[in-house]
Amino acid sequence: MSCTRRDFLKTTVGTSTLLSFAPAAPDFLIRAAVAAAPRRDERDTVLVMIQLSGGNDGLNAAVPYGDDEYGRNRPTLALPPKDVHKINSLVGFHPRMGAFMRLYKAGYLSIVQGVGSPNSDRSHDGAMRIWHTGDPDQPHRQTGWLGRAADSIWRANRAETSAVFVGPIAQPLGVNAENVIVPSIRSPRELMANRMPGDANGESLWKHAAELPRANQGNPLLDFLQRCTVRACADARRIEAATNAAQYPPFQLAGTLHTVAQLIRSDIGVRIFFTELGGGGIGGFDNHANQLGNHCALLHQLSESVAAFIDDLEREKLLDRVLVMTFSEFGRTVSENGRRGTDHGAAAPVFLAGGRLKGGLVGAHPSLTDLDGGALKFHTDFRRVYATVLDRWLGFESPVVLDRQFEPLDILNV
């Protein structure tokens, strides 16, 4: 674990200051300070999901350039083998995903190939619902898998915000929880305290007034609210103190990940970040016609944004705590459709990035001839990837979230 993190804690909100007043401080305050201090026995790993809205064409992202069927099926969309960033003699990255290639070589990126769902659905809404709920068997399920994950770690006396959606679109179903509140933000400012005009005291008075002991106080809810106020104030200050000068490219997703990086650095206890590329609705990765240019721009944005994020985290010695995972509602048809585009498909690759990956390609590339309705067949149930992330990365209990145990993949060094 990085020492930066502990140093940071000491220098910002002053956990140590608080603890040094321990004999005089009321109980709830000491508990709050202890809760805020990093604990060795508890995991502090972070998951960053990136939703690629619209159905990403996996075949033109992790390109099976070495398979003749690829070129045969895609007379106008096939990427020239000479331009592909080659991973091996079969697969390589899209020419504009040079940054992913760099991460891949450094061991910071993995590709899980052939991921999909049984009961696959070729409609955007239906397929996205499956990825969000993590439950292909119940199309009307109302909670998201990460919402259930957040609910599963909630404790009655703690004030952490365990999951956050960062992005300009409506909150996706994936983080919809039955119980906890998952905030949707566009910038870190929304999690900082906004003072009244002319207020010189601001949060310090807010915090001070909350932590003063109350005479004859026997209400457990007031005690809870006092602690939460103190915690909220501390978190808001940590976020404010965690700005850095890292350079990110001028993309929407890069801005989102810059925000995520600041929140990770602030160490306020968020374990799950959900982000999005493509705009949520129609458009985005849904390229039924003239796919080449638009898809190229999106993949470039994805690759550059994630790379800037990974570089930032590495510099801050936080990379070992972070795992990025992309997903899309489906891949696309192997053959192009006569309009220089592709149609809704099935299996697709999932990209993982972070400091604790075993790296490399995971699973075989699905066959380009043994198809299901013109699309690749999956060999890895997407819930095995979810289970890996929940059990092995976050340290949660995946059966609580996914209703049963799926076999995790051996892809992490943890």
Partner 1 sequence: MAAHIEKPSDPGWAWAAYEPDALRPWNLAQAGHLYRRAAFGAGWDQLQRALADGPQRTLDNLLSPHADTEAFNLAHDDYEASAGSVDELRAWWLRRMIQTPHPLMEKMTLFWHSHFATDGAAVKGVRLMQQHVRLLRGQALGSFERLLEGISRDPAVLLWLGADANRKALPGENFARPLMETFTMGPGHGTEKDIQEASRAFTGWFVLRGELRFIPREHDGNIKRILGREGNFTSDDVVRIVLEQPATSERLVRKLYRWLICETEEPDAILIAPLVESFAKDYSVSRLVETMLRSNLFFSSAAYCRRIKCPVEFALGIVKGLEGMVSTTRLAHDLAGLGQNLYHPPTVKGWTGGRHWINSATMVGRYNLASALLQGSGPYADELSPPGVAQKHGRSTFESVARFLVGLFLQDDLDSNVYDTLLKTAQTADGAGNDDPAGLLRRFAHAVITLPEFHLA
Nearer to partner 1 (CB atom), residue 276 or residue 304: 276
Instruction: Round to whole Å and give the CA distance between 352 and 324.
Output: 5
Q: Is 95 helix (H, G, I), strand (E, B) or coil?
A: coil
Mark residues 114-153: x for contact with partner 1 by CB under 8 A, - for none.
-------------------------xx-xx---x------
Minimum gap (Å) between residue 295 Cβ and partner 1: 29
**And the tokens for 414?**
């943890």
Q: What are the strands of the beta sheet with 62-63, ordered from one edge? A: 62-63, 92-93, 85-86
Mark residues 239-278: x for contact with partner 1 by CB under 8 A, - for none.
-----------------------------xx---------
One-letter amino acid at 118 equals: P
Minimum gap (Å) between residue 187 Cβ and partner 1: 13
Instruction: Round to whole Å and give the CA distance between 361 and 339.
Output: 31
Mark residues 78-117: x for contact with partner 1 by CB under 8 A, - for none.
----------------------------------------
Yes or no: say if 318 and 2 are a contact pair by the CB < 8 Å rule. yes
**And the tokens for 152?**
């599963």
CA distances from 59 to 64, 103, 246, 334, 375 (A): 7, 19, 32, 7, 10
Q: Stretches 92-100, 158-166, 352-360, 405-413: which one binds partner 1 (CB under 8 A)?
A: 158-166
One-letter amino acid at 24 equals: A
Instruction: Round to whole Å and give the CA distance between 359 and 141.
Output: 34
Among positions 23, 80, 197, 250, the unique one binding partner 1 when judged by CB under 8 A:
197
Yes or no: say if 331 and 375 are a contact pair by the CB < 8 Å rule. yes
Yes or no: say if 286 and 54 are a contact pair by the CB < 8 Å rule. yes
Nearer to partner 1 (CB atom), residue 85 or residue 148: 148
Count Cβ atoms below 10 Å from residue 138 Cβ, excluding itself: 12
Minimum gap (Å) between residue 189 Cβ and partner 1: 9
Q: Is 309 helix (H, G, I), strand (E, B) or coil?
A: helix
Q: Tell the residue number behind the tokens 């390589």, with chain if given.
A: 92
Number of residues that bind partner 1 (CB under 8 A): 57
Nearer to partner 1 (CB atom), residue 89 or residue 216: 216
Minimum gap (Å) between residue 180 Cβ and partner 1: 6
- Based on the shown chain and the rule CB under 8 A, indicate whether residue 23 belongs to the binding site for partner 1: no
Instruction: Round to whole Å and give the CA distance between 70 and 64.
Output: 7
Site for partner 1 in 383-402 (CB under 8 A): none
Residue 373 contacts by C-beta under 8 Å, 6 or more apart in sequence? Answer: 122, 346
Minimum gap (Å) between residue 184 Cβ and partner 1: 7
Nearer to partner 1 (CB atom), residue 3 or residue 215: 215
Mark residues 216-235: x for contact with partner 1 by CB under 8 A, - for none.
-x-xxxx-xxx-xx-xx--x
Yes or no: say if 342 and 288 are a contact pair by the CB < 8 Å rule. yes
Yes or no: say if 41 and 49 are a contact pair by the CB < 8 Å rule. no
Q: Stretches 1-9, 65-73, 92-100, 189-197: which one binds partner 1 (CB under 8 A)?
A: 189-197
Site for partner 1 in 159-188 (CB under 8 A): 159-162, 164, 176-181, 183-184
Instruction: Round to whole Å and give the CA distance between 107 and 356.
Output: 9
Burial of 58 (0-12, 13-18, 19+ CB in 10 A): buried
Minimum gap (Å) between residue 229 Cβ and partner 1: 5
Among positions 191, 394, 401, 412, the unique one binding partner 1 when judged by CB under 8 A:
191
Nearer to partner 1 (CB atom), residue 160 or residue 391: 160
Nearer to partner 1 (CB atom), residue 36 or residue 115: 36
Q: Stretches 75-83, 193-201, 286-294, 325-333: which one binds partner 1 (CB under 8 A)?
A: 193-201
**What count of residues does the chain have?**
414
Site for partner 1 in 284-303 (CB under 8 A): none
Among positions 42, 196, 338, 369, the unique one binding partner 1 when judged by CB under 8 A:
196
Residue 339 contacts by C-beta under 8 Å, 6 or more apart in sequence? Answer: 288, 289, 290
Minimum gap (Å) between residue 280 Cβ and partner 1: 13
* Contact positions vs partner 1 (CB under 8 A): 139-140, 142-143, 147, 154, 156, 159-162, 164, 176-181, 183-184, 190-201, 205-206, 208-210, 212-215, 217, 219-222, 224-226, 228-229, 231-232, 235-236, 268-269
